[in-house]
Amino acid sequence: MNRYEITRQYLGHFGSIFFNIGIAGVVLALACIASGVLWVVALLFFVFFAFISVVFTLGTVLTFENYRKFLSNTKDLLFNQGLVDVMEKMMQAFPYIVAVTAAALIASFILLLPDRQNTKSKTRLIVLGVMFALLIALVIVVLISGRV
Amino acid sequence: MHTLQLKLKQQAAFRPIVRVNGKNVKLKKNEFGHYMANIQVEQPEAEISVYTVPNELTYKHWFIMSMLFFIVSVFGIFDSWKIKSNDYSLSYKGKINVLETSKLELVMEKPTPNGKALTAKEGAFEDNESNVYTFHKEVKKRKKILIATKVACWIVAVIVLVVCLV
């Protein structure tokens, strides 16, 4: 093994670490955007569950105190200020998450490039391109909606 | 110009790197997972080397580099998980004769102590003392040291976090 091969191996290892950081960043950025969507999905699920359970038990389920408690607790969880705060904070953090993720993705691309003969690194480079496109799309969506 | 059609079959889970006359050869996998390459050489006698990438723990600065990876990957959270690590490596160097169009089919055998690393299924190659796997016995010990250090780092990090939060 010559020095060049060892360096390439080390750079590839650093590249894979930054790749993993980048992937986590994209998922987090996606979660920032989708936090509103997730809330709507949770609300729909809650309404659907409540409706189905009442219909199927012909309303007798409402006589159980535990069930009524469950409904009120879930309603509080969905509508209280805490959840809205989390969503707001996530949107505030969005530009920083995007910056760190973009830096990690670019660093990963540069570090994995010399190791592109390796099948794993080649796959990672392709995934990196997709992730970068997704990140740019997220930024455009946020800029258009004017949420930041 | 002489052409060598090289086929490399794998019995072991190693990624081979092939060099002919000091130049890296681009290997392509076929549908059966075998590495293929068409190599052009000017002289009928060529020097071929087949080697595998050894474990990072066999290198000189293994501890510093491993800890650097550990820190950069935020205590190993973002590090790539390697379930199996190779304690063996191969560094074969020999000569081959390439007539106008020659075929060479090599098989990378499973690593065994003092066993041959490469065997020819078609064509001929120089079978010399470098045609064996090298077993790195220091890797296991170094792995244990590294795991102990990482666990210690995690314990210290948790203590620091708890002290800061309280």
Residue B106's DSSP bridge partners are B8, B120
Which comes out higher in pLDDT, residue B32 or B62? B62
Q: Report the chain A residue with the minimal C-alpha distance to residue B70.
A: A17
Residues in chain A within 8 Å Cβ distance of B78: 17, 20-21, 24
In a domain, A136, yes or no: yes
Q: Are residues A144 and A112 in the same domain?
A: yes
How many angstroms separate the CA atoms of A20 and B100, rounded? 47
In a domain, A20, yes or no: no
Report the complex ipTM.
0.77
Contacts of B44 (CB under 8 A, 6+ apart): B2, B97, B98, B99
Structure tokens at A112: 């994995």
In a domain, A85, yes or no: no
Structure tokens at A89: 């904070």
Residues in chain A within 8 Å Cβ distance of B74: 21
- At A148, the pLDDT band (50, 70, 90 cuts) reads low
Q: Are residues A48 and A73 in the same domain?
A: yes
Best to test chain B binding among A3, A6, A26, A112 (most B CBs inside 10 Å): A6
In Å, how far is B59's CA from the nearest CA of chain A?
8
How many angstroms separate the CA atoms of A136 and A25, rounded? 13
Residue B86 scores a pLDDT above 80: no
In a domain, A84, yes or no: no
Q: Are residues A75 and A99 in the same domain?
A: no
- At B28, the pLDDT band (50, 70, 90 cuts) reads confident
Q: Are residues A67 and A112 in the same domain?
A: no
Across the interface, do A1 and B51 touch by the CB < 8 Å criterion?
Answer: yes
Phi, psi of B7 (to 5 degrees): -130, 130
Q: How many domains does chain A have?
A: 2
In a domain, A98, yes or no: yes
Q: Are residues A74 and A108 in the same domain?
A: no
Residue A35 scores a pLDDT above 90: no
In a domain, A123, yes or no: yes
Q: Are residues A54 and A98 in the same domain?
A: no
Q: Does B73 touch chain A (CB under 8 A)?
A: yes
The minimal CB distance from B80 to the residues A9, A20, A24 is found for A20
pLDDT for B114 equals 74
CB B114 within 8 A of CB B87: no
User: Last residue of some domain: A79, A112, A133?
Assistant: A79
pTM of the model: 0.75
Residue A135 scores a pLDDT above 60: yes
Q: Which domain holds residue A129?
A: 94-148
In a domain, A9, yes or no: no
In a domain, A16, yes or no: no
Q: Are residues A141 and A110 in the same domain?
A: yes
pLDDT digits (tens, 9 = 90+) for A92-118: 888 999 999 999 999 999 999 988 877
pLDDT digits (tens, 9 = 90+) for B95-112: 888 877 888 888 888 888
Q: Are residues A147 and A99 in the same domain?
A: yes
Q: Does B63 touch chain A (CB under 8 A)?
A: no
Residue A20 scores a pLDDT above 90: yes
Q: Are residues A109 and A146 in the same domain?
A: yes
Q: Report the chain B residue with the minimal C-alpha distance to residue A20.
A: B78
